[in-house]
Amino acid sequence: MMVAVEKDKGDSLMEGDNVYIPHVMKIEKVIEETQNIKTFHFNFKDETQKAQFGFKSGQFAEYSVFGVGEATFCISSSPTRMDHLEFSVMRVGKVTQAIHELQEGDEIGFRGPYGNWFPLDSIQGKNLVFVGGGIGLAPLRSLIWNVLDNRDIYKDIVILYGARSPADLSFKYDLEAWDKDDRVNMYTTVDRGDESWTGRVGLIPPVLEEIGPSPENTVAITCGPPIMIKFTLQSLEKLGFTHDQIITTLEMRMKCGIGKCGRCNIGNIYVCKDGPVFTYAQIRSFLSAEF
């Protein structure tokens, strides 16, 4: 089975627009997910811009704190819920620190959407297995909500989410909602529990093997830290998933987001323009070369 991953056609940009000029957006809500991850709900200041804006699950954008700089994050909300947009940020450096200091009512720069997206069309009518680790749930939750808002056109849905510890679980409100949802098989796991944790303990790959989803008419979509991805791919292979049935996203340092600044390439593939969404089959064809 082939999952076609569409390429960005850049048609969101009108001729004559300056692609580097960000929209000024307003932060509407700040959610503290963990001690170093925050989610921001944000919105256009201008209703016309808001009405014209569209994106697809999996796409990313360049976000900026004016005077500090730009950084790249996916849009973590679903295109089916356009009341506002969301992005989630782990505090790791100068720009992310500044983003973490933002409060409701503050403004950010936003340009995008960029990159390709999850292949919504070709996963219709299939069983879906979502495997997310840590903040890697951010791009997945965009797709998950997108799928759940059109629940009838997909078959069985498994969501497996894991984090290092209970305190590191992000998007707890989503996890709860999916756990309560009869149409979803939700599994949450942590590497190490604590006194109050009564849930599952175990690394994602063995838990995935234990759940044992059938590869028959199924697509697996996985995002997370590199080490988790590496072993999750192995587990999926063990379960009988072919490389075409596995979709993931790649992460590289980016600046422009539009295939010009020269740093996010892996071979001749530019993650910003040709990705960030790839099938495992695609990745195998170029990843072994450089890394």
Partner 1 sequence: MGYKRIKKDQLNAFLRELSKDYAVVLPSRSGGQVVFGPWDGENTDFLDWYKNTVIPPKALFFPPVEEMFRFRKGEEGYEIEELMPDKGQQIIFGIRPCDARALKIIDMLFADTYRDPYYLRRRENSLLIGLGCNEPCDTCFCASLDISPGQSEDVDILCTDTGEDLLIEAISDKGGNLLSRMSGLSDAGSEEESKARELRKSAKERITREINLSGLQERMRSNFENRAYWEKVSKKCMACGICTYVCPTCHCFDINDENRKKEGKRVRNWDSCKFPLFTRMPMENPRHEKWRRMRQRYHHKFEYYPMNFGAIACTGCGRCIRECPVNVDVTEIIGGI
For β-strands 246-249 and 277-279, DSSP reports them as antiparallel
Q: Is 206:131 a contact under the CB 8 Å cutoff?
A: no
Cα–Cα distance, 180 to 248 (Å, whole number): 26
- In whole angstroms, the minimum distance from the beta carbon of 168 to partner 1 comes to 15
- In whole angstroms, the minimum distance from the beta carbon of 67 to partner 1 comes to 3
Nearer to partner 1, 10 or 240 (CB): 10
Nearer to partner 1, 148 or 258 (CB): 258
Q: How far apart are the first and last CA of the chain?
A: 27
- DSSP annotation string for 78-116: -TT-TTSEEEEEE--SHHHHHHHT--TT-EEEEEEEES-
- In whole angstroms, the minimum distance from the beta carbon of 50 to partner 1 comes to 15
Name the residue with tokens 């909602």. Answer: 177
- In whole angstroms, the minimum distance from the beta carbon of 215 to partner 1 comes to 30
Nearer to partner 1, 174 or 251 (CB): 251
Nearer to partner 1, 44 or 145 (CB): 44
| Orientation angle between helical segments 226-238 and 204-211, nearest 10 degrees | 20
**CB contact set of 7 (below 8 Å; sequence gap of 6+):** 116, 274
> Which letter, b or e, does each residue of 242-251 get, where b requires 16 or more Cβ atoms within 10 Å of its Cβ?
ebebbbbbbb
Nearer to partner 1, 44 or 280 (CB): 44
Which pair of tokens denotes residue 242? 């072919």
- In whole angstroms, the minimum distance from the beta carbon of 251 to partner 1 comes to 7
Nearer to partner 1, 128 or 266 (CB): 266
- In whole angstroms, the minimum distance from the beta carbon of 200 to partner 1 comes to 26
Nearer to partner 1, 23 or 200 (CB): 23
- In whole angstroms, the minimum distance from the beta carbon of 65 to partner 1 comes to 8
User: Interface residues with partner 1 (CB under 8 A)?
Assistant: 8-10, 13, 15, 18-22, 24, 26, 45, 64, 66-70, 90, 92-93, 107, 109, 225-226, 251-253, 255-256, 258-268, 273, 289-291
For β-strands 200-201 and 246-249, DSSP reports them as unpaired
Among 159, 161, 271, which Cα is nearest to 220's? 159
Among 277, 291, 234, 256, which Cα is nearest to 62's? 256
